[in-house]
Amino acid sequence: GAVVSQHPSWVICKSGTSVKIECRSLDFQATTMFWYRQFPKQSLMLMATSNEGSKATYEQGVEKDKFLINHASLTLSTLTVTSAHPEDSSFYICSAPPTGVQETQYFGPGTRLLVL
Amino acid sequence: QKEVEQNSGPLSVPEGAIASLNCTYSDRVSQSFFWYRQYSGKSPELIMSIYSNGDKEDGRFTAQLNKASQYVSLLIRDSQPSDSATYLCAILYSTLTFGKGTMLLVSP
């Protein structure tokens, strides 16, 4: 099946720093990618929809100025957590549906962020 | 508010038994339903998708959908310890909406 990669898989940072997470579709193009966040023992919550060549669409309650999303190509979306704080510590997962096949989403392996 | 409800569990079954996982949803418009398996510390992996009423079988897994009752379930036959994981029900509205998941524990 299709492969989605994320980098880094783990990141530990100090409070107040910014962290960039990359999501790549390795063998297909994705005009849309999705960013989720999962706190312990909770479900995946959609944060935003990343659209290639245009602005991301953020879910209610997600600060667009804090979680910057860039979808510069058909295979790469980045999520930057700006001025990270301990409450941002979570498991961040991206997914990508092959173009035109929205029902099929391939998840990246996730990035675990710990903010000290 | 579109909701997907699952019993958090844990659901404990002995090896070889049938595990039954249930999910209810709030929006009658939904047409696409999914079951994902998530091991601890890992991202979800798709097990089954189902789009029409009735049963859909794939190996040891059977998904069941009843749109009138707004209910979707997953049966796992001959459960194995390696099936121990959290099972997430997901409904596709404009985007995927996930339930909180049911933890399944299969004891040897």
pLDDT in tens, A37-77: 999 888 899 999 998 888 999 999 999 999 999 998 999 99
CB atoms A105 and B32 under 8 Å: no
As averages over each run of 10 residues, the pLDDT of chain B (108 residues) reads 86 97 88 93 93 96 95 97 96 87 96
pLDDT, residue B27, reads 81
Length of chain A: 116
pLDDT, residue B28, reads 77
The three-point CA angle A94-B39-B1 to 5° equals 55
Interface test with A, best of B95, B97, B100, B102 (most A CBs within 10 A): B95
pLDDT, residue A100, reads 59
pLDDT, residue A97, reads 85
pLDDT, residue B3, reads 87
Distance from CA of B28 to the nearest CA of A (A): 18
